[in-house]
């Protein structure tokens, strides 16, 4: 018991000492900073303070060391630069250096991952001792290599409140490094950027608050080192407050020792207390530490040995910054600078430019007793110990197969999505303008400032609602500014994106011109304006009066992902979370950042965001590819949304089998019978929620035309479940044709006129008074003799008349004003040829009987065509994105975009099975899963009984699943070139694709989706 008590007390004392050190009172420091309130939020204690590679068994180290000559031990301290984007002469020259001098490692710069892997395999096979491979990958391998994931800059990460995400980023970057045979990542940058004009650090820093920088750096470091990749804190002793780039000159740092201890050294000290593997020393002249003129800290023994190794007690690897940088190279020749760095106390000489000369100079220094062979040997063993820890004692060649795929794995892409989303920082939000709510009241201009070409931001904004695009070049003339101002007069909201900004400070106001400033200032004063700045956050200080904008959003950098997520934030797909990691100006202070609500509208994400693995949805691509290969359809759009997030959205194939026009996600398809649930049912449900429509009333209640007919007493609940004994359909067009095949005189003409204004197809116009005959045919049609389920179009053809009778408004305008415009689904439209170019409208059938032409922009259904393209059973066009918005409205039981558009739980009521006990499995207007066990069902086998949706004759399908919070849309033109092609149904492509989703959900949850009723 006494023994246990003693051990407990000893451990407690160690913990207290460690905690005290972490709060800035390192036992080795001459200047101790008292603990502050903020420091206690750093949960940093780690009893293993030494670098991890010092704690292992070193039999391999000793055995390798014993094989090395004195020159080879020196060479183990040398790292040479390598580029995988250079010619064979460069590749061979590096190989010769490795074979001749046995250097310790390489640092890779620009190139590509496969090329680098092949070079690494060659060099490792040629090296006597496995090489330590290093890289600068502060924001991931993309900092140096193409075809890899680009994570956010550290300044972006400084705005994130959840450090767990940064830990995961460090771990993922480490996994990618290991996959590519890299052992050291020269990151994180722990410099505290408290100088807005810093030209070399800036966006590479986590910010200006030492505690925030430390928390983020520690998370990054731990993530990497937990995966056995060495982190390297840089640039010691702190490069954040300088206005000189050490790549081009030697910065002079005139701070007191107290300032250095309390600010710059703080994050280094904390990371060292937590097992930091390596440190990179900066090229700076710091008189308070070493007053030798023009001497860089890299070459200073008082800084590297006395401060870093002795006073701070650091035992890990010490790398120089690149020795070819002008901060040192302008004062010393290659070889000479290397030996001076070694004498200062560094372990690894980075970017040694003359290996032979460096070895000779070190040998001279040993002979001159400036350094001993024992000191060189000790550093060599330290390097070997680090090599053993990173796995070089068991080196295996890099497998290049699937390398690009592995480096761009779905988890990394999702993590990048999370990091970027969490970093976006909202700095102004007057009257809570964000997220934007009342879409139907807005006319929006998307203005791209600084560019003349369309941006990802503009395209991503257009996913939510129609926006018109405008451009403000950086150097516009006064006349051009005036013209643009006049063009924007008719808009009541401007969403401005600022693009193409220069990244580094001190570069002519980041590229912000007087013209840009003048126009934006005037715009903010005259119109509601939202500004999103895609670039260095310090650029905000260069915009005059930007703080007066209705909303200001900073995205820190310009990538497709930052633009995507900024658009989502503006419309409420995601919320704002970030905090400003630096003080930009008096208006934008450190820690500023407003929060907003997410989930207001559909977000655009990846399967991993809802717990599904991307690979488990790969079957979708295979099924659609099979359908196209077997000519079941020339192309398709497929969309899956779960938990309010679109996790899969792809366009496949072409508009027709001629393969001339590829399908894009914003192209419009003829929705066919999806029209029923997207128009008639949408109107009926909205009116039901308002108490203006009751499915238990009769047809004649809402349609005077039905009075006195055999349909007068038809009950709408029976009508909407297709058991009202209505005929399936009527071929209205046949009444217009004579026996000789020509049209009757008062039916159609080839040219439009006052008498024949209704366009049915190209060069085919119908008489203005013919429409009533169609309704009369329905009213005169006989009823089915037998009761029971018969799918019928007829009541939906009458639906526009019902809606007009109830509301006094045309069917089309009612839907636009009350449903489509409020949810931003404005591609849902009749007669798309009136609004969209043919290139965006997917053709349907070449119809040989009635219209005798390829139907392109006009509705496929004959009856809908004869009604001028506007009907309640067919005629609606749209893309999968906008269909999904409407289905999400249904899934949310009538709520979307912060509004209740369909009240009273009406959608839930309409989506329920009405007559299951009688063998009719339909809901009110919606299709539902058929009886369990039914083959080739209208629903996927995994679809729960509570789900509902509809299919369309042209090859369309949508399904809504409230159990799994799922929306699915499949659009195709399987009728091209002929409706006789039924392969899409034979293959069950539409429902099989949905089953892939259900299978993926089941895998993610490890349990069945539901039990079928």
Residue 414, in any domain of the structure: no
| 493, 530 Cβ separation under 8 angstroms | yes
The last residue of a domain, from among 536, 566, 601: 601
CATH number of the domain enclosing 861? 3.40.710.10
Residues 15 and 58 reside in one and the same domain: no
Of 91, 105, 95, 81, give the one whose Cα is nearest residue 351: 81
Contacts for 509-516 with beta carbons within 8 Å, 24 or more apart?
509/539, 509/542, 510/535, 510/536, 510/538, 510/539, 510/542, 511/450, 511/474, 512/539, 512/542, 512/543, 513/474, 513/475, 515/472, 515/474, 515/475, 515/476, 515/481, 516/449, 516/450, 516/472, 516/474, 516/543
Same domain? For 565 and 697 the reply is no
Same domain, yes or no: 626 and 517: no
Last residue of a domain, one of 375, 404, 433: 404
Cis status, amide bond into 237, omega within 30 of 0 = yes
SS3 878: strand
> What is the predicted pLDDT for the residue at 3?
39
Structure tokens at 257: 């020792």
**Domain assignment of residue 349, yes or no:** yes
pLDDT along the chain (1013 residues), means of 10: 39 38 33 33 52 88 97 98 97 97 98 98 98 98 98 98 97 98 98 88 94 98 98 93 76 89 96 97 93 93 97 96 86 92 97 96 97 97 97 97 98 98 98 97 97 97 98 94 97 98 85 95 97 97 96 97 98 98 97 97 97 97 98 98 98 96 98 98 98 98 97 97 96 92 93 96 96 96 94 97 98 98 98 97 96 97 97 98 98 97 97 92 94 73 96 98 98 97 96 97 67 35
Burial of 691 (0-12, 13-18, 19+ CB in 10 A): exposed
Residue 413 domain-assigned (yes or no): no
pLDDT at 193: 93
Verify that 104 and 157 share a domain, yes or no. Answer: yes
Q: Which of 345, 376, 404 marks a domain boundary?
A: 404
pLDDT at 936: 59
Tokens 């460690």 sit on residue: 18
Do both 14 and 66 map to the same domain?
no
| Residue 411 placed within a domain | no
Looking at residue 249, its pLDDT comes to: 79
Query: Do residues 26 and 57 both lie within one domain?
Result: no
Nearest-angstrom CA–CA distance, 971 and 956: 4
CATH code assigned at 319: 3.20.20.300
Cα 671 to chain centroid, rounded: 29
Write down the residue that tokens 């099979």 correspond to.
626
Question: How many domains are contained in the chain?
Answer: 4
DSSP output for 106-150: EEE-SB-HHHHHHHHHHHHHH-SSPPEEEE--BTBGGGTBSSS--
Residue for token pair 């693009």 = 499
C-alpha 74/C-alpha 383 separation (Å) is 11
Q: What tokens does 549 get?
A: 């904008």
213 with 272, same domain: the answer is: yes
For residue 33, what pLDDT is reported? 33
Q: What is the pLDDT of residue 240?
A: 77
Q: Is residue 560 part of a domain?
A: yes
676 and 590 within one domain: no
Range of the domain at 510: 424-601
Residue 87, domain member (yes or no): yes
pLDDT at res. 873: 98
* Domain match, 356 and 502 both: no
Residue 507: give its domain's CATH number. 3.40.50.1700
In-domain check, residue 1012 = no
Structure-token pair, residue 138: 């502060």
Q: What is the 3-state secondary structure (H, E, C) of 648-671?
A: EEEEEEECCCCCCCECCCCCEEEC
Q: Does 801 lie in the same domain as 771?
A: yes
Is 776 in the same domain as 876?
yes
Query: Are 395 and 436 within one domain?
Result: no
- Confirm whether 322 is domain-assigned: yes
pTM exceeding 0.75 = yes
pLDDT of residue 195: 87
């Amino acid at each position: 018991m006494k023994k246990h008590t003693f051990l407990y007390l000893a451990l407690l004392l160690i913990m207290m000492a460690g905690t005290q050190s972490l709060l800035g009172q390192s036992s080795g420091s001459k200047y101790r900073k008292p603990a502050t309130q903020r420091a206690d939020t750093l949960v940093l204690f780690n009893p293993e303070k030494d670098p991890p590679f010092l704690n292992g068994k070193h039999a391999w180290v000793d055995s390798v060391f014993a094989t090395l000559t004195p020159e080879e031990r020196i060479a183990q301290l040398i790292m040479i630069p390598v580029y995988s984007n250079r010619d064979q002469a460069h590749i061979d020259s590096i190989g010769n250096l490795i074979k001749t001098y046995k250097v310790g490692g390489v640092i890779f710069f620009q190139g590509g991952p496969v090329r680098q892997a092949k070079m690494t395999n060659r060099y490792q096979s040629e090296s006597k001792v496995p090489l330590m491979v290093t890289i600068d990958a502060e924001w991931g391998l993309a900092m140096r290599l193409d075809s890899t994931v680009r994570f956010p800059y550290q300044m972006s990460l400084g705005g994130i409140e959840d450090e767990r995400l940064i830990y995961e980023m460090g771990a993922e970057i480490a996994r990618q490094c290991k996959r590519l045979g890299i052992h050291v990542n020269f990151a994180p940058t722990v410099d505290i950027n408290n100088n807005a004009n810093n030209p070399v650090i800036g966006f590479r820093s986590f910010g200006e608050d030492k505690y925030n920088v430390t928390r983020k750096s520690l998370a990054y470091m731990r993530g990497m080192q937990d995966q056995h990749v060495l982190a390297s804190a840089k640039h010691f002793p702190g490069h954040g407050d300088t206005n000189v780039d050490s790549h081009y000159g030697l910065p002079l740092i005139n701070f007191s020792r107290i300032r250095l201890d309390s600010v710059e050294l703080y994050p280094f000290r904390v990371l060292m207390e937590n097992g930091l593997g390596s440190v990179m020393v900066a090229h700076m002249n710091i008189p308070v530490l070493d007053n030798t003129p023009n001497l860089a800290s890299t070459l200073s023994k008082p800084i590297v040995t006395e401060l870093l190794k002795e006073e701070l007690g650091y035992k890990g690897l010490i790398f120089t910054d690149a020795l070819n940088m002008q901060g040192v190279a302008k004062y010393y020749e290659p070889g000479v600078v290397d030996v001076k760095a070694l004498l200062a106390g560094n372990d690894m000489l980075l970017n040694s430019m003359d290996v032979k000369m460096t070895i000779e100079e070190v040998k001279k220094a040993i002979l001159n007793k400036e350094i001993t062979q024992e000191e060189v040997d000790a550093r060599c063993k330290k390097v070997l110990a680090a090599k053993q820890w990173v796995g070089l004692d068991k080196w295996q060649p890099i497998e290049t197969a699937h390398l690009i795929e592995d480096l761009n794995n779905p988890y990394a892409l999702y993590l990048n999505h999370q990091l970027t989303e969490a970093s976006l920082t909202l700095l102004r939000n007057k009257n809570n303008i964000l997220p934007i709510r009342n879409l139907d009241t807005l006319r929006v201009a998307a203005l791209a400032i600084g560019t003349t070409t369309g941006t990802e931001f503009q395209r991503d904004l257009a996913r939510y609602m129609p926006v018109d695009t405008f451009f403000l070049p950086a150097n516009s003339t006064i006349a051009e500014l005036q013209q643009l101002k006049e063009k924007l007069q008719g808009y009541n909201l401007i969403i401005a994106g600022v693009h193409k900004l220069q990244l580094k400070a001190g570069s002519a106001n980041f590229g912000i011109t007087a013209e840009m400033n003048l126009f934006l200032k005037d715009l903010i004063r005259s119109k509601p304006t939202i500004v999103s700045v895609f670039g260095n956050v310090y650029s905000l200080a260069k915009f005059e009066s930007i703080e007066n904008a209705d909303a200001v959003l900073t995205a820190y950098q310009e990538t497709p992902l930052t633009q995507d997520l900024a658009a989502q934030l503006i419309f409420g797909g995601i919320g704002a979370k970030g905090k400003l990691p630096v003080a930009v100006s008096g208006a934008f202070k450190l820690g500023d950042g407003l929060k907003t609500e997410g989930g207001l509208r559909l977000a655009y994400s990846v399967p991993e965001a809802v717990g599904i693995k991307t690979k488990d949805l790969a079957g979708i691509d295979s099924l659609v590819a099979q359908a196209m290969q077997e000519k079941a359809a020339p192309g398709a759009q497929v969309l899956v949304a779960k938990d309010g997030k679109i996790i899969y959205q792809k366009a496949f194939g072409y508009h027709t089998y001629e393969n001339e026009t590829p399908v894009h996600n914003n192209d419009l398809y003829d929705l066919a019978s999806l029209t029923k649930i997207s128009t008639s049912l949408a109107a009926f449900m909205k009116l039901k929620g308002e108490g203006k429509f009751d499915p238990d009333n009769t047809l004649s209640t809402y349609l005077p035309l039905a009075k006195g007919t055999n349909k007068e007493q038809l009950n709408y609940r029976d009508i909407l479940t297709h058991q009202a004994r209505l005929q399936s359909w009527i071929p209205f067009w046949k009444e217009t044709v004579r026996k000789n095949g020509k049209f009757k005189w008062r039916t159609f003409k080839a040219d439009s006129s006052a008498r024949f204004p209704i366009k049915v197809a190209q060069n085919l116009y119908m008489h203005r008074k013919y429409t009533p005959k169609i309704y009369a045919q329905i009213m005169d049609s006989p009823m089915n003799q037998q009761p029971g389920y018969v799918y019928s179009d007829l009541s939906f053809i009458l639906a526009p008349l019902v809606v007009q009778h109830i509301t006094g408004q045309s069917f089309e305008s009612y839907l636009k004003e009350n449903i489509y415009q409020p949810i931003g689904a404005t591609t849902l439209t009749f007669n798309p040829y009136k609004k969209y170019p043919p290139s965006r409208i997917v053709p349907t059938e070449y119809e040989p009987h009635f219209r005798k032409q390829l139907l392109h922009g006009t509705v496929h259904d004959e009856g809908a065509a004869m009604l001028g393209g506007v009907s309640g059973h067919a005629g609606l066009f749209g893309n999968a994105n906008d269909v999904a918005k409407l289905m999400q409205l249904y899934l949310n039981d009538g709520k979307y975009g912060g509004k209740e558009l369909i009240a009273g739980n009406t959608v839930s009521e309409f989506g329920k099975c009405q007559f299951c006990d009688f063998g009719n499995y339909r809901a009110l207007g919606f299709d539902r899963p058929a009886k369990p066990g039914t083959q080739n069902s209208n629903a996927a086998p995994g679809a729960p009984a509570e789900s509902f949706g509809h299919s369309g004759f042209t090859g369309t399908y949508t399904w809504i699943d409230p159990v799994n919070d799922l929306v699915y849309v499949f659009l195709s033109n399987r009728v091209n070139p002929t409706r006789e092609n039924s392969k899409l149904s034979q293959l069950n492509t539409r429902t099989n694709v949905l089953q892939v989703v259900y299978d993926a959900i089941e895998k993610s949850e490890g349990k069945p989706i539901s039990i079928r009723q």
